[in-house]
A and B are shown apart, each in its own frame.
Chain A
Amino acid sequence: MEKFSILWDSTALAHFHYQQLIMMGVGLLLLYLAIVKKFEPLLLIPIGFGALLTNIPLAGFSEPGGLLYYIYEVGIETGVFPLLIFMGVGAMTDFGALIANPRMLLLGAAAQFGIFATLFGAIALNLIPGFEFSLKDASAIAIIGGADGPTAIFLASRLSPDLLGAIAVAAYSYMALVPIIQPPIMKALTTKEERQIKMAQLRPVSQREKIIFPLAVLILTILFLPSATPLVGMFCFGNLMKECGVVERLSKTTQNELINTTTIFLGLAVGSKLSADKFLTVETLGILGLGAVAFAIGTATGVLMAKLMSRLSGGTINPLIGAAGVSAVPMAARVVNKVGLQANPHNFLLMHAMGPNVAGVLGSAVAAGVLLALVG
């Protein structure tokens, strides 16, 4: 009989806490969203599975000695994984559309207002009892508005590791929801005539310009914002490998094997942060709410800036492309194209939206650097 009770004691059944069951439910929900709804499956599958593993009683995946503990310590605590992913993103990004029309950088900048407005909003939430966000927490939450997964994870791991799970889940969920969040805001802020504006074809960009561009970005970052060099530096490195054309093998590895391998471990490590004590809090609700606000504000300021530029340029810019300034490459640009086609079935805005889209990636990396420099 004693043996039986020892055996019973070694099963998970005897040790399940209801909170762990809830978190496993959250993990299963993420798996469902990824598999059935196709929401960012590349990330939500590792994250959801990591959430399942980390909440197994007795197994100790996320305690010293456990697999996920080490993956987290090696990859995210150090900031290595998000930076490797950023290098891969750099190697997949074509800056041609931006170099052909550099004014689009202003749209990428305007859309970052979502980040800073959310920072303010997160601190304002402290007025409600139950919320106690420090300035660091608020900055880490606000970066969700940058709509850039690796940037959000990198900043959260630096400023507020306890909130990392919720922030990463919110960031990737809202990126998947871009086609639902953005169009109503875009339509509300523009008139039908504005949405029909056709834009002039972009000039061709030479390979030399594309090679010099990442170096120029890096030099500017070195001079003015060294705190952003981890992000921008890796991004530019990846981009240079792609554009220079002499290290095709490295560029291919960066774009495929390396980023895929890193994504698997990054997802698992983020999932390991979805433990009951860190996730089942009021703060998580606040983070999810603030994330949606951040996206909405970023979209709105991007569109408004584009509207302003459209007026100043005498109607040669379609204000819809401002919405692509929130990064979320290439989803946001596709959404712009779709909304544009609804207004005028012969108006293809995709290439024009890629400019502000990649500008948004740079913009959110710069914003992350500013937050690191001022708050970190």
Chain B
Amino acid sequence: MNSEIAGQLNEAGTLMLVGMGFVFAFLALLIGGIKLIEITCRRFPGAPEPVASASGKKKVEQQSSEGVAPQTIAAISAAIHQHRQTKTKQQEHA
């Protein structure tokens, strides 16, 4: 009986090593993949027109959001965040 469990433990141990190894390898590969996508997107900044021409309405929206300064966006998102934070706190107290 105990030798059976020992065998199972052995198997579980192997599974642990192989599994963790695989998960790490897979996600590390994905890091490379993301870097590759970033580089290709940067090298071929491709015309944004084709995407926009498909839906003209979209383009306007996108442009308007791009027109906002990054500092403003940062400030707004920080404010929203703080607001949400206080809201969740209130909920927790409730």
Contact B28 A350 (CB under 8 A): no
Q: Which of B5, B31, B41, B46 contacts A106 (CB 8 A)?
A: B31
- For residue A123, CB closer than 8 A to chain B, the reply is yes
Least CB distance, B72 to chain A, in whole angstroms: 14
**B27 interface hit (Cβ, 8 Å):** yes
Q: Are A105 and B27 in contact (CB under 8 A)?
A: yes
- Main SS class of interface, A: helix
Contact of A207 among B8, B11, B12, B51 (CB under 8 A): B51
| A359 touching B20 in the complex, CB below 8 Å, given contacts A127-B5, A207-B51 | no
Is B83 located at the chain interface by the 8 A CB criterion?
Answer: no
Beyond A208-B41, A245-B58, whether A366 also contacts B34 by CB under 8 A is no
The listed residue (B13, B33, B55, B77) touching A216 by CB distance below 8 A is B33
Q: Are B58 and A105 in contact (CB under 8 A)?
A: no
CA of A338 to CA of B74, assembled, Å: 19
Partner of B22, one of A105, A138, A350, A370: A370
Contact B30 A117 (CB under 8 A): no
In the complex, which residues of chain A have a beta carbon less than 8 angstroms from the beta carbon of B23? 109, 112, 363, 366-367, 370
Known: A217-B30, A220-B30, A375-B15. A116 touches B20 (CB 8 A): yes
B38 on interface, CB distance cutoff 8 Å: yes
Interface string of B51-90 (1 = CB under 8 A from A): 1001100100000000000100010011001000100100
Contact A366 B22 (CB under 8 A): yes
Number of A-B contacts (CB under 8 A): 124
Count of chain A residues with a beta carbon within 8 Å of a chain B beta carbon = 56
For the complex, what is the distance from the CA of A113 to the CA of B78, rounded to whole Å?
Answer: 33
Among A106, A123, A217, A224, contact of B9 (Cβ-Cβ < 8 Å):
A123
List chain B residues, Cβ under 8 A from A35.
none
Contact at B26–A99, with CB atoms within 8 Å? no
Given A106-B31, A126-B8, does the pair A350, B20 have CB atoms closer than 8 Å?
no
Number of B positions contacting A (CB below 8 A): 40
- Verify A135–B20 contact, CB threshold 8 A: no
Q: In whole angstroms, what is the CA distance A124 to B5 when docked? A: 8
Chain B CB within 8 A of A32 CB: no
A362 to B18, CA, bound (A): 18
- In whole angstroms, how far apart are the Cα atoms of A246 and B18 in the complex? 41
In the assembled complex, the Cα of A203 lies from the Cα of B67 at a distance in Å of 17
Q: Is A313's CB within 8 Å of the partner chain B?
A: no
Are A99 and B38 neighbours in the complex by a CB distance under 8 Å?
yes
Q: When the two chains form their complex, are residues B12 and A123 in contact, meaning their CB atoms are under 8 A apart?
A: yes
As a 0/1 sequence over residues 38 to 49 of chain B, the CB contacts with chain A under 8 angstroms (1 = contact) are 100100001000
Which residues between 315 and 344 of chain A lie within 8 Å of chain B, taking CB atoms? 334, 337-338, 341
- Residue A225 CB within 8 A of the other chain: yes
8 Å CB contact of A213 from B24, B26, B34, B78? B34
Looking at B18, B20, B30, B70, the one whose CB has the most chain A CB atoms below 10 A away is B30
With both chains docked as a complex, state the minimum distance between the C-beta of B22 and any C-beta of chain A, in angstroms. Answer: 5
Instruction: Please list the residues of chain B having a beta carbon within 8 angstroms of any beta carbon in chain A.
Output: 2, 5, 8-9, 11-13, 15-16, 18-20, 22-24, 26-31, 33-35, 37-38, 41, 46, 51, 54-55, 58, 70, 74, 77-78, 81, 85, 88, 91
